[in-house]
Structure formats: C-alpha cells, structure tokens
Amino acid sequence: MNSLKRFFKKFVIVLIVFSVLGGVAYLIFRPRTQPCFNGVQDNSETGVDCGGFCDRACPIPSKPDYVQDIEINWVKFVEDGRNNYDFIASVSNENERWGVSGLSYEFIYYNEEGGILGNKTGETYIMPKGTDKTESAIKYIIEENIISNVRPARVEIKLADFKWEEVVSEKDLDNLSEGVVEISNVYFEMSKSLGIYIGGGLTKNTSIYDFIKVDIDVVLWGENDELLALGKTNQLTVASGDGWGFSSLFPNFTGDVTDVVRIDCRTETNVFDSNNFMKEYRGKE
C-alpha cells in the first residue's frame, strides 16, 4: 500500500512538472499575430502591413485622372573634365496642388551606334506648381561626375514609381509650392583665392515654415542655349524669412566668364516630407 501511495505521489509530481514546463513552452512558442499581418500600421511600417521591415512593398499612391503627368522637357549632358560628364534633365509640373513626394529616375547614355554605355539611377521629388502662376514648375534633375571612356552621343531619362500627394490647405498651398525660396544677387566669377570659378547667389525663405534642407541647382548657359556647366548644392536649417549666400564650385570649367550669358539658379524643398520641417516652429504668422 505504501509503495502504491509513493508511486501516485511521484506520478502527480511528475505530472505537475510537465504541466508547468508545457505551459512555459506554450507561452514562449505559442503562435502570435505577426506584425506584418495584423492589419495595423505599426513598428517601422510605412503603410498597413507593408514597407519598413515587412517584405511586402507598399502600393504606390495613384493620382486622380484630372492630375496631369510630369512632363520631360529635355535631357542634356556636358563634359566636366577628362572622361567625366554631368547629366541634367528638365521636367515640369502643371498641377497647382499636386506634387510628387518621391520618384525614381534613370539616366541612360548611348554611343554613336545606339549602344548603351551605362546608366545612373537616383530618387528625387517634385513640388506643386502653386496658384497664380502662368509658367510650369520647372525642376532640374542632375547627376554629376559620370565616368565614361567613350563620349556619350545621347542621354535619356526614365521616370518611375511616382508617389503623388496633394497640398489641401489654401494657406499651405501658398507656402508649400514651387518658388517659396527665392534667389537674388546671382553671380559667376573666378575666385582669386581658390583659383577656380564659382557661381552662386542669395536665398530667402518667403514661406511661413522653417525647412531643414533646401536644394539648389546652378546651371550655366552660353550663346544659342548651349549648356556650359552645371552644379548643385544645398542649405540646411533655412528658417522662415531667413536666407543667406550659397555657392557652387566649377573646378573644371575651361571657358571664360564672358562665355556665360545666363545663370539659371533654382531652389526646391520636399514639402511632403514631415522630417523636412523644423520641429520647433519659429515661422511668422
């Protein structure tokens, strides 16, 4: 009888131990709702169960039918040193409220026979046109320092993956469209201290918002719209009402100041990127 009791006692203890171990194992290894399949935008996802660390890419937002496509005006290149070339494309946006928070582009360059010499890819954005403007919102897409042992005969650009967004507020439309950062005092000269050519000017943020980053393109033109040289730079923390001088270096420019008949400087900032606005608001009312 005692041996039978001891047996049952041991059996109960073993059963309790296995039950506890089984419960712990269940808590550790039980099936859980995966973050990328829970129907909620959480963690580092950029959409609902997509983007971030999720394998599934978020669908690209589509635009309404009445929104006009981005137009490619022209694509050019210029030699900037031995076997070194700069590419530039001009695109235009006719939409007052709609812009592109992000898109991908690909420059493809060809030889005389039409064979592909190479390509260069990147990403950029396009600001809305804004109201009360007769001209399109023109944007330059620039890639510098493309190495090619063969001089390109032709360059083209392809645009894809448009992420369209709309500026809804009337106040924002006046402050978040093309041209809110103005340029004045444009110049092109030889720097005596550096011994190279410099092009630049002054900026002024006319919007009510403080921007983290403003991008600036400087394009030099000669007679008969000949592309002479191009460069790009940026300014950081451009507060409302503020602005200062900018400059772009042209170390390989072999011409003369008198060869430049037009200096085209353009500014832009990504108004659809929330990280592009200073967190501490200091703009004017």
Strand order in the sheet with 137-147: 71-79, 84-93, 137-147
Alpha-carbon distance 278 to 91, whole Å?
A: 28
Reported as a single tens digit per residue, the pLDDT across 167-213 is: 988 878 889 999 999 999 999 999 988 899 999 999 999 999 999 99
Same domain, 160 and 216: no
Is the model's pLDDT at 34 over the cut of 50?
A: yes
**243 confidence band (pLDDT: 50, 70, 90):** very high
Is the model's pLDDT at 280 over the cut of 60?
A: no
**Mean pLDDT within 227-238:** 96
Q: What is the CA radius of gyration of the chain?
A: 29
Lowest mean pLDDT among 39-48, 85-94, 269-278: 39-48
Quick check: is 26 in a domain? no
pTM of the model: 0.77
Same domain, 89 and 156: yes
Same domain, 141 and 199: no
Write the single-letter amino acid at 152. Answer: P
Given this model, what pLDDT does residue 107 score?
98
Which residue range forms the structural domain that includes residue 152?
62-178
Quick check: is 33 in a domain? no
Task: Choose the final residue of a domain: 161, 178, 195.
Answer: 178
β-pair type (116-126, 98-110): antiparallel
Question: Rounded to whole angstroms, what are the CA distances from 190 to 109, 183, 184?
Answer: 31, 20, 19
CB 196 within 8 A of CB 164: no
Lowest mean pLDDT among 20-29, 78-87, 130-139, 268-277: 20-29
Of 81 and 28, more confident? 81
Region of 3 (left: φ > 0; alpha: ψ -120 to 50; beta: rest) is alpha
Quick check: is 202 in a domain? yes
Quick check: is 240 in a domain? yes
CB 230 within 8 A of CB 88: yes
Quick check: is 4 in a domain? no
The mean pLDDT of the chain is: 87
Is the model's pLDDT at 89 over the cut of 70?
A: yes
**9 confidence band (pLDDT: 50, 70, 90):** low
Same domain, 206 and 112: no
CB 233 within 8 A of CB 199: no
CB 84 within 8 A of CB 146: yes
Given this model, what pLDDT does residue 275 score?
93
Given this model, what pLDDT does residue 3 score?
63
**247 confidence band (pLDDT: 50, 70, 90):** very high
Same domain, 186 and 278: yes
Given this model, what pLDDT does residue 267 score?
96
Same domain, 108 and 158: yes
Question: Rounded to whole angstroms, what are the CA distances from 128 to 60, 104, 165?
Answer: 18, 17, 9
Same domain, 78 and 131: yes
Task: Choose the final residue of a domain: 120, 150, 178.
Answer: 178
Tally of domains in the chain: 2
**159 confidence band (pLDDT: 50, 70, 90):** very high
Reported as a single tens digit per residue, the pLDDT across 208-217 is: 999 999 999 9
Same domain, 184 and 162: no
**51 confidence band (pLDDT: 50, 70, 90):** confident
The CATH number covering residue 85 comes to 2.60.40.3230
Quick check: is 185 in a domain? yes
Task: Choose the final residue of a domain: 157, 178, 199.
Answer: 178
